[in-house]
Structure 1
């Protein structure tokens, strides 16, 4: 029996993110859709304040805390909690 592959980013759908820089005027986004294309996983991001602001991004980009932070953070929280380096381990 073939071994099933482990799904990349299993908790992606419905996750909430804060952008370090405004995207079309907004910082808070939620993943509303995902798609797999070969070895890549993409997330459709929608602004929590304006559902007309939406875009697709490579889900791996969300792991870069210089660009994105998990959860919805205030500007004050973002200043108090420094980004952690990417986990390069396996």
Structure 2
């Protein structure tokens, strides 16, 4: 039986950062990378494709830093 993939729906998912990152709060996952037991997601800003970075996918589950989906600014402030 094949090993179950961690974070199977990560690719293409949308996230709202609780604090601005390089001036933006809305991001989507455009790539994923497995390194040993860790899974990393490449994030890109929704309005500026030049703003991109890699993050440990486990951090996306931290509600104090990220919210799933694109949330209105008023909700996260």
Aligned-residue offset at 1:78: 2.8
Question: 2:9 — aligned with what?
Answer: 11
TM-score, with length taken from structure 2: 0.96
1:31 to 20, 29, 32: 29
Q: Which structure shows the higher strand fraction?
A: 2
Question: 1:49 — aligned with what?
Answer: 47
Q: 1 or 2 for the larger relative contact order (CA 8 Å, sep ≥6)?
A: 2
The runs of 5 or more residues in structure 2 that have no matched partner are none
The runs of 5 or more residues in structure 1 that have no matched partner are 80-90
Deviates more, 1:69-78 or 1:34-43: 69-78
Aligned-residue offset at 1:38: 0.4
Q: Which has the larger radius of gyration?
A: 1
Q: What SS does the corresponding residue of 2:2 show, helix, strand or coil?
A: coil
Q: Could you list the runs of 4 or more consecutive aligned residues of structure 1 that deviate by over 4 angstroms after TM superposition?
A: none
1:64 to 39, 62, 65: 62
CA distance in 2, matches of 1:32, 1:75: 22
Q: Report Cα offsets for 1:38-75 as digits up to 9, x if no partner.
A: 00000000000100000000000000010000000012
Q: What number of residue pairs does the alignment pair up? A: 77
CA distance in 1, matches of 2:75, 2:69: 11
Aligned-residue offset at 1:76: 2.0
